[in-house]
C-alpha cells in the first residue's frame, strides 16, 4: 500500500516519527511536506497536494496532520472525492473506513502523542470498506451532495421558493 502523508509545523514531529514507523512496517510512504519544520508554513500548501494524490489514485490512503487536525480536515475535505475526518480514537479510525470509506485520516500533532498517532494510523491503514449495501447507499447520498456542489440554505438563496 502506498501511503501519502503531509503536515505543517504543528504536525511536523508527529509526521516524521510516523513516516519512519510506517516504512519499517513495509508501507511505501510519500511525503508531501513540509520537509522542514518551518513555524511560518501553512497547512493547505501540504495537505492539498496530498488530497489530490489520494483522489487521483497516486496514493492509496492519506494521513494529514496539523496542530489540532482541524485545519487539515477542513482543507482536504474541499477536494472532491476526499472523505476525511479528524480522528483521535481507535474506534473511529477503523469504523470510519469500514462504514464511510474514509480515505484521509487527520490528526492533531499538538493533541495526541506519537504512540497514539502510530496506533491510529495503523488501525486506519488496516481497515477496509465493508461495501455493505446500507453504507454504499449512504455514500451515494454523500456523493450526490458533492456533485450538486453542496446545499444552499433557503435563507441564502437569491430567489426564495414559495
Ligand atoms: C498552526 O499554528 C496551527 O494553527 C495549525 O497547525 C492547525 O492546528 C490548524 O488547524
Pick left, alpha or beta for residue 62 (phi over 0 → left; psi -120 to 50 → alpha; otherwise beta): beta
Nearest residue CA, atom 4 of ligand 1?
67
Domain with 110 in it: 2-156
- Beta-carbon count within 10 A of 133 CB: 8
In a domain, 126, yes or no: yes
Does 116 fall in a domain?
Answer: yes
Residue ID of nearest Cα to ligand 1 atom 8: 67
Q: Please report, for the domain that includes residue 136, its CATH number.
A: 3.40.1400.10
Between CA 144 and CA 149, with CA 147 as vertex, the angle to 5 degrees is: 115
* Cell, residue 27: 508501507
Q: Is residue 161 part of a domain?
A: no
Catalytic annotation present for 66: yes
> Ligand 1, residues 9, 10, 110: which to mutate, most atoms within 8 A of Cβ?
10
| 162 within some domain | no
What does the pLDDT look like over 21-58, one tens digit per residue? 999 999 999 999 999 999 999 999 999 999 999 999 99
The pick from 43, 45, 78 for probing ligand 1's pocket by mutation, whose C-beta has the most ligand atoms within 8 angstroms, reads: 43
Distance CA 31, CA 48 (A): 12
Average pLDDT score over residue span 139-155: 82
Split into its structural domains, the chain has a count of 1
Question: pLDDT tens-digit profile of 87-115?
Answer: 999 999 999 999 999 999 999 999 999 99
**What is the DSSP code (8-state) at residue 81?**
T
Amino acid at each position: 500500500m502506498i501511503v501519502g502523508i503531509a503536515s505543517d509545523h504543528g504536525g511536523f514531529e508527529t509526521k516524521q516519527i510516523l513516516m519512519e514507523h510506517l516504512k519499517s512496517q513495509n508501507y511505501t510512504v510519500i511525503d508531501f511536506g513540509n520537509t522542514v519544520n518551518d513555524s511560518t508554513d501553512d497547512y493547505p500548501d501540504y495537505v492539498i497536494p496530498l488530497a489530490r494524490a489520494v483522489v487521483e489514485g497516486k496514493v492509496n490512503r492519506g494521513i494529514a496532520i496539523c496542530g489540532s487536525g482541524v485545519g487539515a480536515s477542513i482543507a482536504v475535505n474541499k477536494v472532491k472525492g476526499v472523505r476525511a475526518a479528524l480522528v483521535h480514537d481507535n474506534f473511529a479510525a477503523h469504523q470510519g473506513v469500514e462504514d464511510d470509506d474514509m480515505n484521509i485520516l487527520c490528526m492533531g500533532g499538538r493533541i495526541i502523542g506519537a504512540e497514539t498517532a502510530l496506533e491510529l494510523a495503523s488501525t486506519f491503514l488496516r481497515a477496509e470498506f465493508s461495501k455493505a449495501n446500507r453504507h454504499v447507499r449512504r455514500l451515494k447520498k454523500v456523493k450526490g451532495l458533492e456533485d450538486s456542489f453542496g446545499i444552499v440554505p433557503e435563507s441564502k438563496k437569491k430567489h426564495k421558493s414559495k
